[in-house]
């Protein structure tokens, strides 16, 4: 993202085309991971696998807290 903003990518077509596509694919991948995680939790609730849901929520909470405290 810094390369795009700084303008250093302007002469190189690979960066001009590849960087926005790469960023888009990263965001799409992150969104798909969140959707999969949420569906897994709802499936666990529906099938009454409360221990599995608890483990998923605890791990998700730890990951979220770790990510927020990094900044």
Tens-digit pLDDT profile for residues 4-63 = 677 666 667 777 788 889 899 999 999 999 999 999 999 999 999 999 999 999 998 998
**Rounded-to-integer distance, Cα 69 and Cα 71, Å:** 5
What's 14's DSSP letter?
H
8 φ/ψ angles, rounded to the nearest 5 degrees: -70, -20
pLDDT of residue 10: 65
**Rounded-to-integer distance, Cα 66 and Cα 30, Å:** 17
71, pLDDT greater than 90: no
Of 39, 36, 34, nearest in space to 67 by CA: 34
pLDDT of residue 5: 72
């Amino acid at each position: 993202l810094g390369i795009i903003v700084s303008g250093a990518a302007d002469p190189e077509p690979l960066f001009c085309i590849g960087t926005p596509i790469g960023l888009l694919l990263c965001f799409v991948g992150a969104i798909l991971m969140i959707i999969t995680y949420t569906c897994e939790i709802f499936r666990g609730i529906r099938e009454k696998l409360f221990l599995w849901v608890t483990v998923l929520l605890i791990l998700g909470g730890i990951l979220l807290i770790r990510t927020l405290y990094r900044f």
